[in-house]
Structure 1
Amino acid sequence: MKINVERMKYPRYVMLISLLSLAAVSQAQPVVRITVKTGPYTRYRTPVSLDISAFPGRTYILYAVNGRERKEVPCQPEPGVVPRLWWQLEDEVPAGATKQYELQVQSQETPSTVPPPVITLQDEQGSLTIQNRSRPVLRYHHATVYPPAGVDSAFRRSGFIHPAWSPQGKVLTGIHPKDHYHHFGIWNPWTDTEFEGKTVDFWNIAKKTGTVRFVEFISRTQGAVWGGFRALQAHVVSGDKEKTALREVWDIRAYQGEGMQTWDFISVLNCAGESPVTLRHYRYGGGFGFRGHPDWNNENSAIVTSAGKTRRNADSTYMRWFKVAGTSGEGKAGMLVLVAPDNFNFPQPIRVWPEKDLGGQVFINISPTKDRPWTLYYGNEYTQKYRIVVFDEDISLEKAEALWNDYAHPPEMTVSVK
């Protein structure tokens, strides 16, 4: 039997090409086009994120597109019920600008496509330190810290931040000052609360009616865009038999970048059991508490709020942000705290020690229940969000207001797939 080889060649090549094309199509991943509009506000290295549940993959590569130019941008996936991809806008993007991006989704992960972490964690001696390019940002204490020798051990606690550092490494916070041994850098226990018919004070721990303790880490993350942790804390009622009244999750994440350092402080509260907890109207407690560096006083530090109030008249007023800066032996540095507009009782009331109190030492507390009670019920979550911007020397009031607008009014994002 004679076989016509020439006539068989072409169909075989057609079949091979068709099979290769089919394989390529089956492995093809979508290219996602993303448009970000800054709107009426200037953006300052703003963190943005995209829901990527419709674009599953092992590796994500993001490019900033400007005409024919494409520049890779560090990005970071965050797993979860709704997975997200995070990145940051450039250092400063003016109002009214439009930024274009392309996202490539790959089904496989290779070492060359996984960027090294910039925000890293160091866990040692009962504390977890977040670092930005090896520079410390903040330290969270998950082990119990005891007061100085000779002081009542009732002043022990875990679950707080100290130190918080400026970008150049200047310490901003203080702990266990002689005038208030129950002050712990950055912390947020509630003061006058009602639980199962009892009055419980989680703030003034020397009363021995309640305290707050670290329970466990839910997650710890290092990344090219952000790094941090989620920690479960228990608000414990003291007595012959201890009982947890509230569970709280701290979600703390710091973002990469030079110059001003940005990190987020998010508190999520829920009742530990079916009994509600009432956070009574009281002049301080909860929210966001800050004890300043022990060197700071009324002569070398200053406080101002979004309402233009200072240490002389800020107490019991309402604000969207506050700024504090002071000079220690390390130099001048400070912190800007931005309040999310969907927080309870926004704009939130603030507690500020007057200039002449305790030698001018600095204590500030954003206290959501300073003018009204707040009852928390079983089965619900109660979230308070704050963005912290730390700096060396000082920043202007105009910059502080611009940073709050950037935080409170996120950029607009649209997505298409090609």
Structure 2
Amino acid sequence: MHQHIFSLALLGSVTLMGQSVTPTFSASAGAYDRTDTPLCTEVPDSLWSNRATLTLYEVTDGEDKAVTAQWDNRQLCWIMTGSTPAGTSRNYQLRQASVTSPAPAFTAQNEDGAVRFAVNGREVMTYQYAPAAVPDGVDPIFSRGGYLHPLLSPSGDTLSRIQPPDHYHHYGVWNPWTHTEFRGKELDFWNLVRGHGTVEAQGVSEVTDGNVQAGLTARHAYLAYRDSAVAENPEQLLEETLDLRVLPADDDNYLVDYTTRQTNITGEPFTVKAYRYQGFGYRGRASWNDDNVELLTSGGKNKSDGNATRARWMKVEGPTEHGRSGILFMTHPGNYNFPEQIRIWPTGANGGKENVFVNFNPAQDRDYVMRPGGTYQLKYRMLVYDGQLDTTTANRYWQDFAHPPRVRWNDDNGLAGARVLLYTKNGKGFVHDNIPASIVAIEQMGKDNGFEVVATDDPGMFTPDGLEEFDVLVFSNTNNDIFDTPEQEQAFKSYIEAGGGFVGIHSACGSERDWPWFWRNLGGKFHRHAKRQDFDVLVVDSDHPSTDFLPATWHIRDDECYYLKQLNPAIHVLLAADLGTVDDEEGKTTYPADTFGSTFPTSWYHTTDGGRQWYTSLGHRIEHYSDPQFLRHILGGIRWAAE
């Protein structure tokens, strides 16, 4: 088999075999046309520690051009300027060079309880962390911080609103939960007048400037009052981190990235109950109403029929002092219950006047349970623009957000030039309908990452000569008897013993149920599964390419929680199902019961018999094979197995 040996050290300023190594990488447009796309990539310690001496260059037809870039939060960020057609890549190098840095174009100034963002000296947005004073005669219970306002158009017109008389608790752009339950008690953090609690902004850190973006990290606390409207000595239930970034867009328009991570710091579940409005919301300027605002969603819905529908994006635009401006609100595929349902004040609401309110709500039709100690992330992006925005452009911006160009470090891929055998054989019994989708997805994965994929369900491929040319064998949803002869089994076993890589996906654990060596090679043998449902998976080891991008809690949608027996004690667990989120009475009374406490292994790796084996039990539905997070999970397993 081919051997591919790479090292993270190659990406730093090192000498390899007497030669200086230049860090190089490519950014692939993937399936989408790109235009002036902002992009960030994680960098290893060897580069981060030397960032002050490194300059980014783009290499095109042998010519090098310095690229404006920014080091921020252990990432390298830049703009893929101009047009990058689908299916093409841009090539870059990092070199030691002395370049004079201009004054930052994107700035964030922290003073007087607020952080004011500007682009080229033009104020665009304010994050207010100090509590806002309420209008005269209004109950102080409505005072709070932790919101965006004013949100300004590129021409300088205010697009947001706070404390309108019809809803004093509305605060520009903000994201509290409305209908929650804790210890059997209802708690409302949105409608402050109810006196259940509030969201307290507790300051900011990591305020950054730069020529690519400006940003901050803020801390919020969900505080529950111990008695109605008695604010003294509240109990904190959630700890929230808000990351804000302001980035460039076409013309003088700009982007705002809004990422929250909420951690349940109590010892009991915190449940966001299904309700029509809560979460990431926006209250529009006072002059916008039914007669002058255009509201459109990615599903083609508008102000009259869009409420409670699902959308990847929604735009709101209307007249301003300088003409016309708007905001494109985008949600991310990694969010819970994506694409979220939306709350829109429909035509006629609020008497048809001052009635622009929109809200992405991940818990409109179902509960959102935050387990004790769990961390939950939601990501949104806004495009703030002047003029009008067409659907094609809106889709392009959403694609950049949801499916950004892929960056591949040329010396750290571990897969460039590799060959992968994708095996999908099923014996007599249940056959998953996801197999064709998995083939398409993994073949595309190969194209995007420079490795060849050979898909087959022919056990005749399993000969010593036939397997020699492959770096990794991927068993995607194989099941029951998948080999026809003892010779094929021996060829597979010999391949592993010679150091071959193996990746098993979902029902691969149900293959060769009478062959103990296969169970040991995969890591266990299928026993049963719970019914299809949503459940949480916990990241046990985040220091692995198949998990290092995941949130601490991965919300799995409509999958099967698998239980295996005959587990190989050599497995190193990467992911584990949180059994407290799995509805399975049989599992609670029989197996696994409390064999592994409140969790059960979901993904792992090991190196039994000289091989490199990786397995995930996730991936039952066809839709999972178009889920970017799940595909990245598989890609990380293939990459590790190929090392």
Q: Does 1:278 align with 2:265?
A: no
Residue 332 (structure 2) aligns with:
340
Q: Does 1:180 align with 2:172?
A: no
- Counterpart amino acid of residue 398 in structure 1: T
Alpha-carbon contact 1:29-1:105 (below 8 Å) kept: no
Residue 364 (structure 2) aligns with:
370
Alpha-carbon contact 1:59-1:105 (below 8 Å) kept: yes
Structure 1 Cα separation of the partners of residues 311 and 248 of structure 2:
27
Residue 64 (structure 2) aligns with:
70
Q: CA separation of 1:262/1:71 partners in 2, compared to 1, >3 Å: closer, same or farther?
A: same
Q: How big is the shift at 1:40? A: 2.0
Alpha-carbon contact 1:35-1:414 (below 8 Å) kept: yes
Residue 506 (structure 2) aligns with:
none
Which of these residues, 239, 257, 261, is aligned with residue 254 of structure 2?
261
Residue 20 (structure 1) aligns with:
none
Structure 1 Cα separation of the partners of residues 180 and 258 of structure 2:
23
Residue 14 (structure 1) aligns with:
none
Alpha-carbon contact 1:118-1:256 (below 8 Å) kept: no
Q: How big is the shift at 1:133? A: 1.0
Residues 291-343 of structure 1: CA distance to partner in whole angstroms, max 9, x if unpaired?
00111011111111110000111011111110110113343100011111110
Q: CA separation of 1:59/1:137 partners in 2, compared to 1, >3 Å: closer, same or farther?
A: farther
Structure 2 Cα separation of the partners of residues 381 and 136 of structure 1:
33
Structure 2 Cα separation of the partners of residues 216 and 153 of structure 1:
20
Residue 284 (structure 2) aligns with:
292
Residue 142 (structure 2) aligns with:
155
Q: How big is the shift at 1:28? A: 8.8
Q: CA separation of 1:105/1:273 partners in 2, compared to 1, >3 Å: closer, same or farther?
A: farther
Residues 259-280 of structure 1: CA distance to partner in whole angstroms, max 9, x if unpaired?
3211201011111222221000
Residue 88 (structure 2) aligns with:
97
Alpha-carbon contact 2:177-2:272 (below 8 Å) kept: yes
Structure 2 Cα separation of the partners of residues 71 and 363 of structure 1:
45
Which of these residues, 385, 410, 416, is aligned with residue 379 of structure 2?
385
- Counterpart amino acid of residue 240 in structure 2: E
Which of these residues, 173, 194, 217, is aligned with residue 230 of structure 1?
217
Q: How big is the shift at 1:363? A: 0.4
Q: Which has the higher strand share?
A: 1
Q: Does 1:407 align with 2:401?
A: yes
Residue 142 (structure 1) aligns with:
129
- Secondary structure, in 3 states, of the residue corresponding to 2:410? strand
- Secondary structure, in 3 states, of the residue corresponding to 1:46? strand
The alignment-based identity, stated in percent, is: 35
Residues 13-67 of structure 1: CA distance to partner in whole angstroms, max 9, x if unpaired?
xxxxxxxxxxx97999642122122122121322222332143413320011112
Alpha-carbon contact 1:296-1:328 (below 8 Å) kept: no
Which of these residues, 204, 209, 217, is aligned with residue 217 of structure 1?
204
Structure 1 Cα separation of the partners of residues 149 and 382 of structure 2:
14
Alpha-carbon contact 1:262-1:388 (below 8 Å) kept: yes
Alpha-carbon contact 1:74-1:115 (below 8 Å) kept: no
Residues 210-237 of structure 1: CA distance to partner in whole angstroms, max 9, x if unpaired?
1111112132111121111010001111
Alpha-carbon contact 2:59-2:93 (below 8 Å) kept: yes
Residues 117-150 of structure 1: CA distance to partner in whole angstroms, max 9, x if unpaired?
2211122332111111111221011111022111
- Counterpart amino acid of residue 252 in structure 2: G
Q: CA separation of 1:67/1:235 partners in 2, compared to 1, >3 Å: closer, same or farther?
A: same
Across the aligned residues of Structure 1 and Structure 2, the Cα RMSD in angstroms comes to 2.1
Q: How big is the shift at 1:407? A: 1.7
Alpha-carbon contact 1:37-1:99 (below 8 Å) kept: yes
Structure 1 Cα separation of the partners of residues 222 and 35 of structure 2:
36
Alpha-carbon contact 2:265-2:373 (below 8 Å) kept: no
Residue 47 (structure 1) aligns with:
38
What residue ranges of structure 2 are gaps of 5+ in the alignment? 1-13, 228-232, 413-643
Residues 140-173 of structure 1: CA distance to partner in whole angstroms, max 9, x if unpaired?
1111102211111111111000011122212111
How many residue pairs align between the two structures?
Answer: 387
Residue 29 (structure 2) aligns with:
38
Q: How big is the shift at 1:250? A: 0.7
Structure 1 Cα separation of the partners of residues 84 and 124 of structure 2:
25
Q: CA separation of 1:105/1:197 partners in 2, compared to 1, >3 Å: closer, same or farther?
A: farther
Residue 391 (structure 2) aligns with:
397
Q: How big is the shift at 1:398? A: 1.4
- Counterpart amino acid of residue 184 in structure 2: G
Residue 21 (structure 1) aligns with:
none
- Counterpart amino acid of residue 146 in structure 1: A
Residue 4 (structure 1) aligns with:
none
Alpha-carbon contact 1:191-1:201 (below 8 Å) kept: yes
- Secondary structure, in 3 states, of the residue corresponding to 1:216? strand
Alpha-carbon contact 1:44-1:403 (below 8 Å) kept: no
Structure 2 Cα separation of the partners of residues 135 and 303 of structure 1:
27
Residues 72-124 of structure 1: CA distance to partner in whole angstroms, max 9, x if unpaired?
11111124xxx221111114322233211111146xxx6x4445322111223
Q: Which has the higher helix share?
A: 2
- Secondary structure, in 3 states, of the residue corresponding to 2:301? coil
Residues 169-213 of structure 1: CA distance to partner in whole angstroms, max 9, x if unpaired?
121111111111110000010001112222110000011111111
- Secondary structure, in 3 states, of the residue corresponding to 1:267? strand
- Which range moved further: 325-334 or 198-207? 325-334
Structure 2 Cα separation of the partners of residues 281 and 162 of structure 1:
28
- Which range moved further: 273-282 or 52-61? 52-61
Residue 12 (structure 1) aligns with:
none
Residue 18 (structure 1) aligns with:
none
Structure 2 Cα separation of the partners of residues 223 and 277 of structure 1:
38
Structure 2 Cα separation of the partners of residues 25 and 376 of structure 1:
48
Structure 1 Cα separation of the partners of residues 15 and 147 of structure 2:
52
Structure 2 Cα separation of the partners of residues 63 and 188 of structure 1:
39
- Counterpart amino acid of residue 50 in structure 1: T
Structure 1 Cα separation of the partners of residues 295 and 223 of structure 2:
33
